Amino acid sequence: PKTKASYKDRRELDAITRKIEVLEKKQEALHQQLADPEFYQNHSTELPALQQNLNEIEKDLKQAYARWEELES
């Protein structure tokens, strides 16, 4: 049976929802940057750091979505 979410859970759910939104915006910005051919010509030395940042964002998003699903159920 589904129980009513506690105040703490609702607050955490709100925070995770905001975190997911921020991470998705960062992810989209990085994807756009990496899709720009000029980026590779002018900023190729930044590529490893951007790719690492994207990997971290994707990992954080996966964890946030998992927790969001736990709180929603």
Residues 4-54: pLDDT tens digits?
Answer: 778 999 999 999 999 999 999 999 999 999 899 998 888 889 999 999 999
- Give the integer Cα–Cα distance in Å for 2 and 9: 14
Model-level pTM greater than 0.85? no
3-state secondary structure 4-66: CCCHHHHHHHHHHHHHHHHHHHHHHHHHHHHHCHHHHHHCHHHHHHHHHHHHHHHHHHHHHHH
Angstrom distance (rounded) from CA 14 to CA 42? 39
